[in-house]
Structure 1
Amino acid sequence: METEELFRLLPLLAPLVLIQLALLVIGLVDLARRERTRGPKWAWALVIVFVSMMGPIIYFLFGREEG
């Protein structure tokens, strides 16, 4: 990929990168603060970090234990 192409795609990629980073940080902070989760915390941390943008979303939908 040429530098010129990269700069042309940057306005499209920057918001996605920022959303990914925000979801990652929010997910990990929530996981650290939560006393109980559905499953081991270490497994949820791996999902949040390694499953790209969907990892934090999966955690918020299925990993958090209310109450």
Structure 2
Amino acid sequence: MDIFLLLAPLIVLEAILVIVALLAWFKTDKTNGPRWLWLFIILLLQIIGPILFFIIGRRQQ
């Protein structure tokens, strides 16, 4: 049970990060690379995927 108490904040933070990244992905028309690939990166790479999307995935206009 102690391990859950240590991991709970990290799990909540990761869930919020994924939700915000998915909302940004949905609103972004153009990305650096295929848009569908960024969806898989956000969903499958846990914490690193959404961070990568915000750093290099979104095309600045």
TM above 0.5, yes or no, is yes
The match for 1:56 among 36, 50, 55 is: 50
The unaligned stretches of length 5 or more in structure 2 are none
Relative to the length of structure 1, the TM-score reads 0.85
Provide the residue aligned with 1:43 in structure 2. Answer: 37
Tell me which stretches of 4 or more aligned residues in structure 1 moved more than 3 Å. none
Stretches of structure 1 that go unaligned for 5 or more consecutive residues are 1-6
- Cα RMSD for the two superposed structures: 0.7
Q: Which amino acid aligns with 2:60?
A: E
What amino acid is aligned across from residue 26 of structure 1 in structure 2? V
Percentage of pairs with the same residue: 31
Whose radius of gyration is greater, 1 or 2?
A: 1
SS of equivalent residue, structure 2 residue 29? coil
